[in-house]
Structures are given as structure tokens and as C-alpha cells.
Amino acid sequence: MTDNKSYTLGEIAELLNIKLVGDQLCEIHGLGTLKYAAPGQLTFLSNPSYINQLSSTKASAVIVEEKYVNLYSGNALVSENPYVSFAGATALFATPSKVELGVHNSAHVHDSAQLAENVSIGPNVVIEEGVCIGVNTTIGAASFIGKGVILGDNGCLYNNVTLYHGVTIGRDVIIHSGAVIGADGFGFASDRGKSIKIHQLGSVEIGDDVEIGAGTTIDRGAIDNTVIEHGVKIDNQVQIGHNCVVGAHSVICGCTAIAGSVTIGKHCVMGGASGAVGHITIADKVQVSAMSLVSGSIKEAGLYSSGTGHMRTGDWKRNIVRFAQLDSITKRLKELEKKS
């Protein structure tokens, strides 16, 4: 959504620090996709799969790499990385939610809580004792901030976020609705068939510039803390178990499930609905494909996948039968090799 914002292409080029080929005075009042953009909108090309849409787009300007400029007759903003430049453009047209500073009269804030300047505490928020909240922080309606939580400057918690006791969060952190940070890790000891709860005595540490999606859960550590380092981006519906460490600037995509005591390196990507078993280590700069299971430690950077690609159901059923026969086929092959 835009708020009647408008920029000339010259202004956008200067703000994004990229080169303009075309009309500096052309007015841009919004963003669109190559296929559906209208006159007055800015779009981008970063994936060559959509290059056939470049000639037919109705956008007033396109952000492109230098090598594609000659394929487009309109206004072009030339960027080394069009997707990053487009991300910058979205910030120009974003409309922040309007918040009222101060504490809503229905909120409950413990007398010992420390609230810095320019904070916004929404309706029915509960803030327990010993909480420290940094400047310019917004806490949405019905959120719960447990005892001793530290929440850094410029934080944004949307509605219905829960921070359990003792959680520490850095500055410039965004947490979306329904996220639960610091619930007990899933720890039990078996005693003659009965599960005995292991009380979770650690907490959760979240660094600066982290974003956590809606409905995501990050469990507190059993003894040591669960740690989310600076710049990590976590999608919706992600589960991160107790005592995990997620390295700086890693990306965890939606519906991923990470078992306890997993260490993920820096600049990693866990694809959507992927998973990791407990007590393993994943090296820096590892990418795990969607729907893959990491069942052992990964020691080298690279792209990793598991599972099988989709196929027609009939073919899949036949192949699964063959898969179950692989062990016996291998044994027979070895016997034949011995005889040959």
C-alpha cells in the first residue's frame, strides 16, 4: 500500500545510488510486477525467466542489469543487483503503521518495568516486573512480555507476541503476530516408561536486525541459551528447538523444523519445510533445498538436497516398490560380481 507518495526517476536513482537511462522528470507513484505494472509504476527484472515480459511491460521504468538495457526501449534504472535495488525502492513507498506513543490505558505495566522514550504500548499488553524496553519500540495489542525481558531500541512487536521470562532481544528487531519466544524446550528423561520433565533453565538471546515471522516458536535452552545471531531472518511457522544456535545473516524459510542443539552457521539458507535432526552442526554458507531433511552434520559450504522430485502418482508408487528392493538387488549384484 502507498500513501500517495511520488518521486521522479531522477530522485529514485539518487536515493538508490544507481544510474538512470531515460527521463529524469518521469513521475513514479508506485511499484508493480513486469506483467501487471501500469504507467506511473516502477518494476524490475532480476530473473532471466521473465525476460520475455520486458518488451511488453507497461511500467514507466524498469530496474535492470546493464546487459539488458538494450533489450528495453523505455526508462531504465541500471543496477548491479536489481532485486536489492527493488528492495530499496519498496522502502521508499512503504507506509508505516501509525502508532500512538505512550501506554494504552488497558495495558498492565509493572511498576519496576523501565520504558524508554517514544515507546508505544498497545491495548491489553502485559509487561511484567524487571522488563527493560528501548527507545522507539512498539508493542502491539495483547502481547505478553515476561519477567526480566530486555527489548532493544527500535523494536516492533506486532499483536499477540509472547516473550517468556528472561528473553534478551537486540535492537531493530521485528517480531510478527503469534510468535512465541522462550517457551520450554521439548526435554524429557525416560524412567521405566514414564517421561520426566527436564526443566528448561536457559533462555533465548536474539541479536540485532532480526525478523521473526508470524506463528514462529523459538524454545529456551535447557541449560545454555538458544541463540539467534545478528541479521537472521526467520519466516512464518518455523520451529527452533532448545539450545540451537543460528549464525548471523542466515535465512530460515517457512515451516522449517529444527530439532534441539543444532548449530547452523553464518549466511545459511534452510529452504521451506526443511528439517534438521538434533545435535548436528551445519557449516557456514550452506543452502538446504525445500522439503529436505538434514540427518547429519554438514562440514562444507554448498547446496544440499534430499527426497525425490515430484512425478505422477502411479510412477511414484512403482518407484517406491523398487526402492524397497534396492538392498536385495545390491546383494544379488555383489554375488554375481563374485562369480564373474
Residues labelled catalytic: 242
CA dihedral 29, 33, 38, 42 (to 10 degrees): 40
Q: How far is CA 197 from CA 184, 190, 202, 240, in A?
A: 10, 9, 15, 19
Between CA 17 and CA 85 the distance in angstroms is 9
Chain-centre distance for alpha carbon 331: 46
Which residue type sits at 103?
A: V
SS (H, E, C) 10-37: HHHHHHHCCEEECCCCCEECEECCCCCC
Residues ≥6 apart with Cβ < 8 Å to 74 = 22, 57, 59, 60, 61, 62
Q: How far apart are the first and last CA of the chain?
A: 72
Grid coordinates standing for 66? 546493464
Q: Torsions phi, psi of 92, nearest 5?
A: -65, -35
